[in-house]
Amino acid sequence: MTGLKVIRPGPLSLLQDGGRLGWQHLGVSPSGPVDPHAAAWANRLLDNPWGTPLLEIALGGVELESDVDTWAACCGAELPLTLDGEPLPCWSRFPLRAGQRLALGFARSGQRGYLAVAGGFRVGPVLGSVATQVREGLGGPDGHGRALRAGDLLPCDPADRSGGQSVPWRFVPDYRTEPRLRVMLGGDAADFAEEERRAFLERPWRLSPQSDRMGARLIGEPLRPPRRQWSLGVAGGAVQVPPDGQPIVLLADRQTMGGYPILGWVHPLDLGLLAQSPAHRVVRFERVKVGRVQEELRAFYRFFGR
């Protein structure tokens, strides 16, 4: 079996794909990349279909040794990228030869990088997906939901391409700036007082250090949520407001049911900006109409072949 051997795994490196879809009615989280924009570009650079298994690298600190001739691409956080000590640009594809070592340093901006190889990593799916869900013990290199460890082998096949390729600059996000996240008000929004809805959009919010792949916790002047005493199914980007008034934006490893009032949903194409923000980064929200979101999502999925 050929592939990439893990020399250093980094703080948290997870195999992900398009997500474990169709199981939420049984309480199984969909998982998948928390920055779908960066993950989609990493696969597109290699002509991989949507959702081809790749590696999500939190913060960096990863070193891999190849025993196969292939091509790779890295998008997302600004990770210092070197091949046998020679620097490589992010948001681009490059050849990777047997015996070479690929190192990804710690992020200068952003929080997660996405490393793809031509044809994807060949790992057996669990419930139709290789996506790693640590909390539920699903997916990953062993099928039991664990992160990468030193000594793991990420299987992949030999592949060839002709010439390097990079993502056009206008599609490369700036993870250094304060993000303005578009949000569709809805769900229980009508049960919030008008001044609370307005406050959510006008106030600055800081990203809590307690945020993770399950959800982004926000810190600010508390909102006053309405009471709700039943649970409903939840979707990615849902803005929940618990009794303490500090909103939570649900991400890829979210639970499938929730009882907190929902103020709305963050635009799916803006969730990556949130997931790439460091702790204590200020984020702001602005309202967007559902029709605009649907139009942009259709264009996104057409471009990436979903």
Per-residue confidence in pLDDT tens, the chain, 306 aa? 899 999 999 999 999 999 999 999 999 999 999 999 999 999 999 999 999 999 999 999 999 999 999 999 999 999 999 999 999 999 999 999 999 999 999 999 999 999 999 999 999 999 999 999 999 999 999 999 999 999 999 999 998 876 778 999 999 999 999 999 999 999 999 999 999 999 999 999 999 999 999 999 999 999 999 987 688 899 999 999 999 999 999 999 999 999 899 999 999 999 999 999 999 999 999 999 999 999 999 999 999 987
Could you give the dihedral angle defined by the CA atoms of residues 288, 293, 296 and 297, in that order, rounded to the nearest 10 degrees?
Answer: 150
The CATH number of residue 268's host domain is 2.40.100.10
Q: Are residues 136 and 244 in the same domain?
A: no
Q: Are residues 196 and 94 in the same domain?
A: no
Q: First CA to last CA across the chain, in angstroms?
A: 29
- The answer to whether the CB of 220 falls within 8 A of the CB of 205 is yes
Domain of residue 139 covers: 3-171
Provide the 10 A C-beta neighbour count for residue 250. 23
Give CA–CA dist 31/17, Å, rounded.
9
Q: Are residues 233 and 151 in the same domain?
A: no
Q: Are residues 77 and 153 in the same domain?
A: yes
User: Looking at the 3D structure of the chain, how many domains does it have?
Assistant: 2
Q: Are residues 130 and 193 in the same domain?
A: no
Q: Are residues 166 and 184 in the same domain?
A: no
Q: Are residues 11 and 101 in the same domain?
A: yes
Residue at which a domain ends, from 171, 195, 223: 171
Residue at which a domain ends, from 136, 171, 206: 171
Closest CA to 55 of 84, 69, 35, 70: 35
Residue at which a domain ends, from 109, 137, 171: 171
Closest CA to 301 of 87, 128, 122, 44: 44
Q: Are residues 205 and 78 in the same domain?
A: no
The structure's pTM equals 0.95
Which tokens sit at 67? Answer: 């025993």
Q: Are residues 86 and 189 in the same domain?
A: no
The CATH number of residue 63's host domain is 2.60.120
Which alpha helices (DSSP H) does the chain contain, by range?
A: 36-44, 194-202, 271-275, 290-304
